[in-house]
A = this chain, B = another copy of it.
Amino acid sequence: MTITAETLDRSRGLVAPALRLAVERLDPFTRLVVSYHLGWSDEQGVPTVANPGKTLRPALALLAAEAVTGRPDPGLPGAVAVELVHNFSLLHDDLMDRDTERRHRRTVWAVWGDATAVLAGDALLSLAHEVLTDADSPYGQAAGQAVAIATRELIRGQVLDLAFEERNDVGLDECLDMAAGKTGALLGVSAAIGAILAGAPQQVVSCLSRFGAELGMAFQLIDDLLGIWGSPAVTGKPVFSDLIARKKTLPVTWSLDHGGKPGRELAAWLRRESSPTEDELQHAARLIERAGGREWAAQEARRRVGLAEQALHEAGLDDLARNRLGDLAHFVIERQS
């Protein structure tokens, strides 16, 4: 087991009981739906051992608390809250994007319908705040504020994402701004909230927030690469799903802006109306590669991790904590799913 796998495993062990305790507050039906979504049970409520997801966000929250106080515990309500907000956004995004599969299982709206996905997402967003207001910390209110601001950014990112689907002229800068909202903001608060709850100085909190936000950009770049070249068996998403949906992902947008002739061919490909065949999807993926979008995204992900490490350095944490957070950053760009 690598150090990062150990870190994630330990974090899951700490967060899982607190997360279950929070979910138990929900009404029986919403609890079933959420338990299914989180991989704890099947559609009938029979317990399962499913892939719990990366739980990267709670790991960041716990490591930051540990970095500041020597113990992960003060970060626990924050870890639960960011995981709840993350899952609120998955439930609603899957519905809006009409994605039918996540982590190798049918999505909630596909199983129970639209209204259930709306309500289960609502319940998790509210529960995140409930958990923070329960926190036995004088900094619970500040943590709630950080989560609310990040959620506003998350929603802004999703609004842009949907608007971009209707447009053919989305530039790279707009796309980076969208990713900063959609992915950067929640990873930023995940990295900061443990320190907020532990009462760390503002300078430490803002360095950790920057660390998480840059890590989030790297995460999104890798996600976009996996959405095109990842193995469906590993990612749990259908092959080429982002291309089928004609998503303006970062490697695509870079290729359109800077990709020369293959970039222009890609632009023409994206404007076509008909549903693409498997061969045509392969062809589009090759165009992005020839345009340089694949290489750029991989490089940009590494550059963002470098910026994240710099922010981490500026936070002035002790070596052990910094190394663990740094390992997590490298895991993000080396992951295959």
Contacts and interface: CB of A to CB of B under 8 A. Distances in A.
Interface of A: 25-27, 29-30, 88, 92, 95-96, 114-116, 118-119, 121-123, 125-127, 129-130, 132-134, 140-142, 144-145, 147-149, 151-152, 155-156, 158-160, 162-163
Nearest to A137: B141
Given A29-B163, A114-B114, A134-B145, A125 B127 contact: no
Contact of A155 (B30, B95, B151): B30
Given A134-B145, A144-B144, A145-B130, A159 B29 contact: yes
B130 A118 contact: no
Contact of A130 (B26, B148, B156, B162): B148
B129 A129 contact: yes
Contact of A144 (B29, B116, B125, B141): B141
Interface hub of A122, A126, A134 (most chain B Cβ within 10 A): A126
Nearest to A25: B152
B159 A133 contact: no
A186 to B, nearest CB: 12
B141 A127 contact: no
A122 B29 contact: no
B119 A159 contact: yes
A73 B122 CA distance: 29
Given A92-B122, A122-B151, A144-B144, 7 more contacts: A92-B118, A96-B119, A115-B162, A116-B162, A119-B158, A121-B122, A125-B126
B155 A119 contact: yes
A155 B28 CA distance: 12
Contact of A129 (B88, B95, B96, B148): B148
A135 B1 CA distance: 46
5 contacts: A26-B156, A119-B158, A123-B155, A129-B129, A129-B147
B142 A133 contact: yes
A322 to B, nearest CB: 29
Contacts of A119: 92, 96, 155, 158-159, 162
Nearest to A33: B159
A64 B133 CA distance: 22
Contacts of A159: 27, 29-30, 119
A160 B119 CA distance: 11
A240 to B, nearest CB: 22
Interface hub of A114, A122, A145, A156 (most chain B Cβ within 10 A): A122
Contacts of A26: 152, 156
Contacts of A162: 115-116, 119
A133 B145 contact: yes
Contacts of A134: 145
A137 to B, nearest CB: 9
A57 B55 CA distance: 38
